[in-house]
Each structure stands twice: as structure tokens, then as C-alpha cells.
């Protein structure tokens, strides 16, 4: 059965919007662990729009499960990861203007750079996953650079507009998962997964972790809003 790693970036988005010290990502991470998830995922973006360096350092200290750090291959971020040593590093492409990670990493293009980074990460005991589109050529390169995992980008499947498109994107994912397993890579998946579209992906038994963030954090507003208002009314 696929396990769940919850991406808690948007707890930090809310905190940064007011420059407060709450809501706390540590408190969120503790809830993620208490509910039996496989780990906590955060993306330390180059522009630090949500997760901050201190969040990653604090999470590494308190987590009993897995810290999966999503990160670009920018030198400063790589150096930071080498200091913190997350259990797993998921390498992603990053553009300043994007709202979220838009596409998969071009492993073919950055082959030699990735090979070097992965070698250093392995020396520090960091498991390395490469976030890629369901593309067989990218999978071959992921194997060549000695990645442990690939994370299949499920964004195109999640954004597909009609049944035929959904089916097409789903089949690409399935084919990529089987192909990656055959080449000896382990497989995670994520991006854009929500309460409506996750089931079919979760049924692909070769997938180990699903990294899901936005839909879960967005859902908490309406599973928690009523109680939050009631608590305030009681005090007033
Ligand atoms: N996996 C990767 C590599 C990501 O970059 C993200 C977004 O930060 C996710 C999973 C989670 O995506 P979502 O927030 O759409 O669930």
C-alpha cells in the first residue's frame, strides 16, 4: 500500500502572510506523525516564500519519521541540505515566478551535475529522489546518475480536463512506474493529488510514497473552521 508524506509548505505560507510565529509547522508535523504518515515533506524554495531554513533545521530535530526535503540543485540549497542531512532529498526544478513546481527535472540535461550531487548526498547517507515527468528517457538518466528513487510528477494527470486525457496521463504514469521498477529504481509520486484523483494512483502498488500537500492543507480549513469559530465564541 502506498504511504503518505504530507507536504506542510502551506502551513508556512499562512504564517509568512502575517509574519507571525504561528501556525507552527512543528505542530503540523507532529500531527502528521501522530496520524501514522510515513513522513513530512517540505520545499525550501530559493525565494523562501514559505518554508524557512530554521523550519527545516527544527523539523530535522523533532521528526521521528522521515524528513523529505524538496529542493533545487542550486549550490546554496545543496550546501544547506548537506548541513541539515534530511533522510531524503527530492530534487526538483525551480523557477522564481512559478506558483508551484511546474514540471519535472530535466535529468538528461543536468546529468553530470546530478551525478556529482547524488554522490555527495550518498556519502552523507541522504536518500535521493528525482522529481520527473513520466518519461522513459528521463527514467533511464535517473538510473544512470544513481538516484535511489524517482518521484513521478502527477500534475498533468491531476490537471487533465476530460476522461480521455485523464486516461492517457494515467497510463503514462503506470507505464513509467513499471519501467522505473524494472530498471531498479524505487518510485514515489505526487503533485496535484487530491481527494478525487488519488485513488487510482494509490492503487499502483509499486509506488511507495505519495507526497501530497495543497489539497490536505486546503481541506483542513473546512474540517477545522467550525470548531475554531466555536472555541472563539465560547471565550467571547
Ligand atoms: N511533490 C513535489 C516534488 C512537489 O514539488 C510538490 C509541491 O511542493 C508536491 C509533491 C505536493 O504537491 P501538492 O501540494 O500539489 O499536493
In the chain the domains, ranked by start, together with CATH numbers, are 3-235 (3.20.20.70)
Sign of CA dihedral 187, 65, 37, 16: negative
Tell me if residue 70 is catalytic.
Answer: yes
pLDDT score for 96: 66
Does the pTM exceed 0.85? yes
Question: Does residue 72 line the site of ligand 1, with CB under 6 A?
Answer: no
Q: Which residues of the chain have pLDDT under 50?
A: none
Nearest CA to 28 out of 16, 41, 19, 17 is that of: 41
All three cell numbers of 179: 519501467
Catalogue the E-assigned strands of 64-111: 66-71, 88-91
Using left for φ > 0, alpha for ψ between -120 and 50, and beta otherwise, residue 187 falls in beta
pLDDT score for 100: 72
Tell me if residue 191 is catalytic.
Answer: yes
Q: Ligand 1 pocket: which of 3, 47, 191 to mutate (most atoms <8 Å of CB)?
A: 191
Question: Does residue 37 line the site of ligand 1, with CB under 6 A?
Answer: no
Question: Does residue 214 line the site of ligand 1, with CB under 6 A?
Answer: yes
pLDDT digits (tens, 9 = 90+) for 11-59: 999 999 999 999 999 999 999 999 999 999 999 999 999 999 999 999 9
Distance CA 102, CA 86 (A): 23
**Residues 17-25: contacts with CB within 8 Å, 24+ apart?**
25/51, 25/55, 25/58, 25/59
Tell me if residue 43 is catalytic.
Answer: yes
b or e along 120-151 (b: 16 or more beta carbons within 10 Å of the residue's beta carbon)?
ebeeeebbbbbbbbbbeebbebbbebebbbbb
DSSP label at residue 39? E
Amino acid at each position: 500500500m502506498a504511504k503518505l508524506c504530507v507536504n506542510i509548505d502551506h502551513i508556512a505560507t499562512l504564517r509568512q502572510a502575517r509574519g507571525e510565529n504561528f501556525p507552527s509547522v512543528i505542530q503540523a508535523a507532529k500531527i502528521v506523525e501522530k496520524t501514522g504518515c510515513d513522513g513530512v515533506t517540505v520545499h525550501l524554495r530559493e525565494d523562501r516564500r514559505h518554508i524557512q531554513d530554521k523550519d527545516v533545521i527544527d523539523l530535522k530535530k523533532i521528526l521521528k519519521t522521515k524528513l523529505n526535503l524538496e529542493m533545487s540543485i542550486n549550490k546554496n540549497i545543496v550546501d544547506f541540505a548537506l548541513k541539515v542531512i534530511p533522510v531524503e532529498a527530492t530534487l526538483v526544478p525551480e523557477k522564481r515566478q512559478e506558483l508551484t513546481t511546474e514540471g519535472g527535472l530535466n535529468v538528461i540535461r543536468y546529468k553530470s551535475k546530478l551525478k556529482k550531487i547524488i554522490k555527495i548526498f550518498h556519502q552523507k547517507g541522504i536518500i535521493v529522489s528525482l522529481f520527473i515527468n513520466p518519461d522513459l528517457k528521463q527514467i533511464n538518466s535517473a538510473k544512470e546518475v544513481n538516484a535511489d528513487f524517482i518521484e513521478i510528477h502527477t500534475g498533468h494527470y491531476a490537471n487533465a480536463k476530460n476522461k480521455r486525457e485523464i486516461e492517457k496521463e494515467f497510463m503514462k504514469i503506470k507505464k513509467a512506474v513499471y519501467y522505473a521498477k524494472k530498471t531498479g529504481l524505487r518510485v514515489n509520486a505526487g503533485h496535484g493529488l487530491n481527494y478525487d484523483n488519488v485513488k487510482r494512483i494509490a492503487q499502483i502498488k509499486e509506488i511507495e510514497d505519495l507526497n501530497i500537500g495543497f489539497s490536505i492543507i486546503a481541506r483542513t480549513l473546512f474540517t477545522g473552521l467550525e470548531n475554531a469559530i466555536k472555541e472563539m465564541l465560547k471565550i467571547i
